[in-house]
Amino acid sequence: MLAETSPDWETWTSANGGADDVAVSSANAHSGNNSIYFSSTSTTGGPADVVLPFPAELNVGQFNLEMWLYINAGTGAYFNLQEESAIGTSWASEIYFLAGGIAQFTSDGDLLLAPSFPEDEWFKLRMENNLSSNTWEIFINDISVGGYANTVTQIASIDIYPTNGNQFYIDDFSYEFIDYALPVLNAGVTDINNLYAALAGQSAAPQVVVRNLGQTNITSFTIEVTYNNTTFTQDVTGVNIASLAFYNVDFTEQFTLIPGNNEVVATISGVNGMLTNDDNTEDDVKTLLVNPTVPAAGKKVVAEEGTGTWCPWCVRGTYFMELLSERYDGLFVGIAVHNADPMVVGAYDSEIGTMISGYPSGLVDRGPEYDPSQFEAPFLERIQTAPKAFIENGALWNADTRELQISATTTFQETVTGNYKIALVLTEDDVTGTGSQWSQANAYAGGNNGDMGGFEDLPSPVPFSQMEYDHVARVISPSFNGLPSAFAGMMNSGDASIHNFTFILPAGWDETKIHIVAMVIAPDGTIDNASSTSITEAVQLGYQQGMEVVGITSLSEQQEDIAIYPVPANDYCVVELELQKGTELTMEIYSAEGKLVASKDYGTLSGALRLPINTSTWTAGIYKVRIIRDGQSMTKTIVKQ
């Protein structure tokens, strides 16, 4: 075992040789005979979790990290750099190697770099990090694949932890650190924020991060920032920045980002009123490249997340769904599909549950499965994909009867053939409720699992009185897969179709927080394009008469009548349902791999039922429960702890 036999490595729990240690392997090696092999089939990752502490909490000087990796095709890898010596306090950087050969270098929720890497072969990863000037450059097989300024500028250890499905080897691991001697007076520019997340055409106000990299306190200076031949200048006075401390200069002026790879340059001068430069001119200028993603005309991207109040890790989805909704306002369409809690929509939950392996997890335009923390990269890819069709929502709203009539007008932008479908979703923000089932389990409570948008400062569970749930799916119509043959077998460019839906909204829903999301689903099951408007916006656009997909339907009549608890289960769980008449009932339970675990034919039953399931001998993981009533099936989820 690595940590048990090495004086340098330890495990996350400090129980060297225990469950989170990792074995030395002779199955594959870059040099010599041995390497370290990491794999995980657990939905929560691990159990292997090994840490290499660095000599100290490093925030100045040159730090270079190098390793060779072999990542099995279609599996991925993961490691992170911890910010503080006390592991689990905060994450400086997280590095994901995703199935398919794309890596994601992230910090504090920001995607900083997304290079490609080879699968099923050894490759060298090298990270050259000037911690003083916050200049990070990444090399794969000795070729630079890009650089960035990291959001967090201190590192204390590396943590290698396989997430669900990861299979990878590491060999020839090394690092080096060169300390930095502080000059007498020196101010450096270490980062320029707020410009990288924006898309071409969006406007953003830059934030320049200044650091005192000298021995003398800094009391004044001037900052210039230039982009696209436009320069903003700000004089900063009346400050007192101590040695090695940071100071953020927030500009009110905004740059409009343009397509292409263009420089943004920040320059510091006049430090403490000096007419000449400070004692180190090398860090007075910070130049970064801004290459904003260019959205395809009319394109919106749908992210459907499986979540639940019972799921302690699902606060990660809550944070990232909100972050991306704000960052890419109007283009990122988030839908929170709840499981086994009061916000569940059975028809939605049962279908998406067959497409994800755990919670939180989700789909971007119904492509491959991603953790919500990884939604940004597939969003940026999909937002550039020109849609086959544009969609416009119209509506009529009767506040007295609470009748909502919706028209979805689809106009094709090119000639298409095949079975294109349409589906409509209503989502609601700021959803609240009372009772323990509305309280949110929180794995980030206390900060032991790092920062997560403020959830680290909240208890577990977060009391229902402190929770508001956003993007909550309220209904999907006519089905998850959409209306078959919603359009002609061939639609020419410019052809349009109108589909109508009519709902009676329950009194408990806040119509001012409802969003109408119409989706065109391609023949391969992916989402080609979507619309997203409030009811007010749709009313302003005007209702159009067309093909009636859903007649007047009272949504209060569609509430889920099957519940499974407790979630997660330990030794048992109960399926609770009510049958209004004599019904042939069968139950089948499958593992995440699709293996039949148990089945039972209950014959004909009626009334309120509580059907117990013994889960004591099951291994931890996700199980699917298929409940068949008079030949009609519904799939639910059991989580075994």
Among 230-234, 291-295, 553-557, which stretch is predicted with the lowest mean pLDDT? Answer: 553-557
Q: Does the pLDDT at position 160 exceed 70?
A: yes
For the chain, the C-alpha Rg in angstroms (whole number) is 27
Q: Where are the alpha helices (DSSP H) in 523-636?
A: 535-541
DSSP 442: -
Q: What share of the chain is helix, strand, coil (3-state, %, to 5)?
A: 10, 45, 40
398 and 538 fall within a common domain: yes
**DSSP for 173-207?**
EEEEEE-----SS-EEEEEEESSSSSPTT-EE--E
Compute φ and ψ for 372, nearest 5 degrees.
-55, -30
319 and 373 fall within a common domain: yes
Residue 302 makes CB contacts below 8 A (sequence gap 6+) with 333, 335, 364, 365, 366, 517, 519, 527, 530
Q: pLDDT digits over 579-622, tens only?
A: 767 888 899 998 877 788 889 999 988 877 888 898 888 888 88
Final residue of a structural domain among 442, 467, 492: 467
Type of residue found at 207: Q
227 and 174 fall within a common domain: no
Report, as an integer, the average pLDDT of 282-287.
94
Q: How confident is the model at residue 554 (pLDDT cuts 50, 70, 90)?
A: low
Q: What is the 3-state secondary structure (H, E, C) of 444-511?
A: CHHHCCCCCCCHHHCCCCECHHHCCECCEEEEEECCCCCECCCCCCEECCCCEEEEEEEEECCCCCCH
User: What integer best gives the mean pLDDT of the chain?
Assistant: 92
Q: How confident is the model at residue 205 (pLDDT cuts 50, 70, 90)?
A: very high
381 and 396 fall within a common domain: no
Q: Does the pLDDT at position 555 exceed 90?
A: no
Among 1-5, 227-231, 426-430, 612-616, which stretch is predicted with the lowest mean pLDDT? Answer: 612-616
Report, as an integer, the average pLDDT of 517-526.
97
pLDDT for the residue 196 = 77
Written as six digits, the tokens of 405 are 């009539």
- Is the Cβ–Cβ distance between 192 and 286 less than 8 Å? yes
Type of residue found at 153: T
Final residue of a structural domain among 264, 290, 316: 290
Question: For position 334, which CATH number holds?
Answer: 3.40.30.10
Cα distance between residue 539 and residue 550, in whole Å: 18
Residue 143 makes CB contacts below 8 A (sequence gap 6+) with none
Report, as an integer, the average pLDDT of 415-426.
96
Q: How confident is the model at residue 496 (pLDDT cuts 50, 70, 90)?
A: very high
pLDDT for the residue 556 = 57
**DSSP for 387-436?**
PSEEEEEEEEEETTTTEEEEEEEEEESS-EES--EEEEEEEESSB---SG
Cα distance between residue 267 and residue 550, in whole Å: 60
- Is the Cβ–Cβ distance between 599 and 577 less than 8 Å? no
Q: Comparing C-alpha atoms, which of 366, 441, 27, 356 is closest to residue 165? A: 356
CA atoms within 13 A on the CB side of 260: 7
**496-504 and 547-554 beta bridge pairing:** parallel
406 and 498 fall within a common domain: yes
Cα distance between residue 102 and residue 153, in whole Å: 24
Question: What is the CB neighbour count within 10 angstroms for residue 100?
Answer: 11
545 and 578 fall within a common domain: no
29 and 169 fall within a common domain: yes
**Token pair 């042939």 is at which residue?**
584
Q: How confident is the model at residue 557 (pLDDT cuts 50, 70, 90)?
A: very low
Q: pLDDT digits over 109-152, tens only?
A: 788 999 999 999 999 999 999 999 999 999 999 999 999 999 99
Q: Does the pLDDT at position 221 exceed 90?
A: yes
Q: Helix, strand or coil for residue 591?
A: strand
Question: For position 122, which CATH number holds?
Answer: 2.60.120.560
Final residue of a structural domain among 146, 178, 210: 178
DSSP 218: B
What H or E segment, with its residue span, contains residue 514? Answer: strand 514-521
What H or E segment, with its residue span, contains residue 323? Answer: helix 315-327
Q: Does the pLDDT at position 565 exceed 90?
A: no
Give 497's strand partners.
410
Give 122's strand partners.
70
Report, as an integer, the average pLDDT of 353-369.
93
Q: Is the peptide bond before 566 cis (omega within 30 degrees of 0)?
A: yes
Cα distance between residue 328 and residue 341, in whole Å: 28
Residue 231 vs residues 206, 208, 251, 266, 506: alpha-carbon distances, Å:
11, 13, 11, 9, 53
237 and 263 fall within a common domain: yes
Give 335's strand partners.
304
pLDDT for the residue 441 = 96
382 and 404 fall within a common domain: no
359 and 263 fall within a common domain: no
Among 191-205, 292-306, 354-368, 532-546, which stretch is predicted with the lowest mean pLDDT? Answer: 191-205
**60 CA to centre of own chain:** 31
Q: Is 40 left (phi over 0), alpha (psi -120 to 50) or beta?
A: beta
Question: For position 209, which CATH number holds?
Answer: 2.60.40.10
Q: What angle do CA 570, 431, 436 make, to 5 degrees?
A: 35
Q: How confident is the model at residue 559 (pLDDT cuts 50, 70, 90)?
A: very low
pLDDT for the residue 524 = 96
pLDDT for the residue 593 = 74
Looking at the 3D structure of the chain, how many domains does it have? Answer: 5
Among 32-46, 214-228, 604-618, which stretch is predicted with the lowest mean pLDDT? Answer: 604-618
pLDDT for the residue 188 = 95
402 and 519 fall within a common domain: yes
Written as six digits, the tokens of 385 are 């994909």
pLDDT for the residue 619 = 87
Q: What is the pTM of this model?
A: 0.73
- Is the Cβ–Cβ distance between 410 and 496 less than 8 Å? yes
Q: How confident is the model at residue 530 (pLDDT cuts 50, 70, 90)?
A: very high
Q: Helix, strand or coil for residue 539?
A: helix
Give 435's strand partners.
none
DSSP 627: E
User: Which structural domain range is residue 272 located in?
Assistant: 187-290
Residue 210 vs residues 137, 220, 224, 236, 364: alpha-carbon distances, Å:
20, 11, 12, 11, 37
* Rounded (10°) CA dihedral 234, 236, 242, 248: -40
**610 CA to centre of own chain:** 36
pLDDT for the residue 553 = 67
411 and 550 fall within a common domain: yes
Question: What is the CB neighbour count within 10 angstroms for residue 29?
Answer: 17
Q: Does the pLDDT at position 346 exceed 90?
A: no
Report, as an integer, the average pLDDT of 374-378.
92
Among 281-285, 469-473, 504-508, 548-552, which stretch is predicted with the lowest mean pLDDT? Answer: 548-552
Residue 326 makes CB contacts below 8 A (sequence gap 6+) with none
Question: For position 567, which CATH number holds?
Answer: 2.60.40.1930
Q: pLDDT digits over 90-109, tens only?
A: 999 999 999 999 999 999 87
